[in-house]
Amino acid sequence: MAFLQSVVFFVVAIGVLVTAHEFGHFWVARRLGVKVLRFSIGFGHAWLVWHRRGDETEYALGAIPLGGYVKMLDESEGEVAPEERARAFNRQSLGIRSAVVVAGPLFNFVFAVLAFWLMFMIGVSGLRATVGGVTPDSPAARAGILEGDQVVAAAGRRTPTWDDVVQVLVAKVMDGGVVTLVLRDASGGRREVALKLGGLTLDDMTEGRVFSAIGVRPGPPLAPIIDSVVPGSPAQASGMRAGDRVLAADGRSIADWPAWVAYVRARPGITIATRVERDGKRLVLSLTPERVVDESGAHGRIGASVRRPSAESLKALAVTVRYGPLDAFGHALRQTADATTLTLRFLWKMVRGQASIKNLSGPISIAQYAGISAQGGLARFLWFLAIVSVSLGILNLLPIPLLDGGHLLYYAAELVRGRPLSEHTRLIGQRLGIAFLVGLMGLAFYNDLARLFG
């Protein structure tokens, strides 16, 4: 069922984004006097073909809903009647041809702005940026971030949710510098801290290790309450039970679960006098963690799991960010600009070898993201559409033959030379473009399979 849902929303997403892209070519071409013969969404055999009254363009829906095209009158594709030659694409000035070509990617950016605008008006739900725990000796701990703090701003930008914090961190990691966070503690007091990001990499950001890399756990504080005990484990041998709350270890107060885990891990084979609260009574248990050795070295383990926060506590941290039409449009423009800048910088880092090519995603991953975002509601799906639309706009502007950017590259050469490139040169460029795109898609598809099958 999940697979089918992902496929359906992937097809919907591609259909919407291709329509936006091709409509850009279509709309500008018609406005500039170029005759458009066909506007098609999808390739292959046309399932549906129609004409609008008084409109010379043929509209079609193709059998393969993974692309589309705009077919314009062009002497390079067939004979053109003398009276129509002035409307042929190849007869247009360099400026008009360039405008028609660039309109497709431009409309992808316009679509992204509209999608973000609707998203902000509908309301974006997320988890309030409250710190549930801090890993000892992590960047967050060294910066002075404490459990229970709420991140209200990062790098001068309001951060009502953790999603907002992550967006700022991803952008700042590329600079490898320091990000200033404004924190609000449980009493309402505010303070600024400087979080150093020098040890973080782009792969940490893109592979879902943002929080572990900086050393924070989102959500409500994780109380040191035992949820279950593994049979035959040191925890069971000590008499520990589900529901016990760890109060102290060797006379030292235990504030939260991460502190308890850190204490246990540091004492393999060493008996710990553990004070717990059970049904209103306080008991002292003699607990000896077993010694476990893995790639990180030797550490202690007792065989007990933590009781996760209740649905009520998580619901209390849920927040919906919503704006009026005017404010939403301003945020949409900034979000589109941020997404564009971030994507370009990431591509440049990848070209320079500073970001892994494993981050390239193909159709399988995009389909999965489509299904997941759709499950999160309309606002989340609009966010997904906007991000992919920005990526498509940038991809199509790359100076690669067969893409819109490749045509613009030819036009730039024509401007310099004073005449178009020869057909032979364009043919060589097309072959190189095909080889590059096939290789790129092959790599993306390989990454998808590697993620899917581990």
- Of 345, 373, 397, the one marking the end of a domain is 397
Domain hosting residue 372, numbered range: 2-122+363-397
Higher pLDDT, 64 or 57: 57
How is residue 447 written in tokens?
Answer: 């990454």
Q: Please check whether residue 144 lies inside any domain of the structure.
A: yes
Share of the chain above pLDDT 70, in %: 96
Asked whether the predicted pLDDT for residue 237 surpasses 70, the reply is: yes
Amino acid (one-letter) located at 290: E
Task: Please tell me the total count of domains within the chain.
Answer: 3
Model pLDDT, residue 328: 96
Mark whether 112 and 21 lie in a shared domain. Answer: yes
Asked whether the predicted pLDDT for residue 454 surpasses 70, the reply is: no
Mark whether 217 and 230 lie in a shared domain. Answer: no
Mark whether 260 and 207 lie in a shared domain. Answer: no
Mean pLDDT along residues 339-345: 91
Measured in whole angstroms, the distance separating CA 11 from the mean position of its chain's CA atoms is 19
How is residue 435 written in tokens?
Answer: 């080889």
How is residue 408 written in tokens?
Answer: 């613009």
Q: Please check whether residue 160 lies inside any domain of the structure.
A: yes
Mark whether 153 and 53 lie in a shared domain. Answer: no
Q: Please check whether residue 448 lies inside any domain of the structure.
A: no
Mark whether 35 and 54 lie in a shared domain. Answer: yes
- Of 299, 327, 347, the one marking the end of a domain is 299
Mark whether 58 and 100 lie in a shared domain. Answer: yes
Q: Please check whether residue 272 lies inside any domain of the structure.
A: yes
Mark whether 166 and 252 lie in a shared domain. Answer: no
Q: Please check whether residue 450 lies inside any domain of the structure.
A: no
Q: List, for residues 278-305, the tens digit of each pLDDT value.
A: 999 999 999 999 999 887 788 999 999 9
How far lies 387's CA from each of 318, 373, 416, in Å? 23, 12, 35
Mark whether 205 and 230 lie in a shared domain. Answer: no
Mark whether 230 and 217 lie in a shared domain. Answer: no
Mark whether 102 and 152 lie in a shared domain. Answer: no
Q: List, for residues 121-142, the tens digit of each pLDDT value.
A: 999 888 899 998 888 788 999 9
- pLDDT band at 205, cuts 50/70/90? low
- Of 221, 241, 257, the one marking the end of a domain is 221
DSSP H helices, 90-173, are 94-122, 139-143, 162-173
Mark whether 204 and 151 lie in a shared domain. Answer: yes
Q: Please check whether residue 335 lies inside any domain of the structure.
A: no
- pLDDT band at 207, cuts 50/70/90? low
How far lies 442's CA from each of 66, 343, 394, in Å? 17, 21, 19
- pLDDT band at 60, cuts 50/70/90? very high
Q: Please check whether residue 230 lies inside any domain of the structure.
A: yes
Q: How far apart are CA 288 and CA 379, in angstroms?
A: 50
Q: List, for residues 417-451, the tens digit of each pLDDT value.
A: 988 888 889 889 889 988 988 888 888 777 767 76
Mean pLDDT along residues 237-252: 94
Supply the residues annotated as catalytic: 22
Q: How far apart are CA 409 and CA 424, in angstroms?
A: 16
CB neighbour list of residue 63: distance below 8 Å, 6 or more residues apart = 42, 43, 44, 45, 46, 47
- Model confidence, pTM: 0.82
Mark whether 217 and 240 lie in a shared domain. Answer: no
- pLDDT band at 29, cuts 50/70/90? very high
**CATH number for the domain that contains residue 263:** 2.30.42.10
- Cα atoms in the Cβ-side hemisphere of radius 13 Å centred on 399: 6
- pLDDT band at 151, cuts 50/70/90? very high
Residues in the chain: 454
Q: How far apart are CA 165 and CA 140, in angstroms?
A: 13
Q: Tokens 């030659």 — which residue?
A: 85
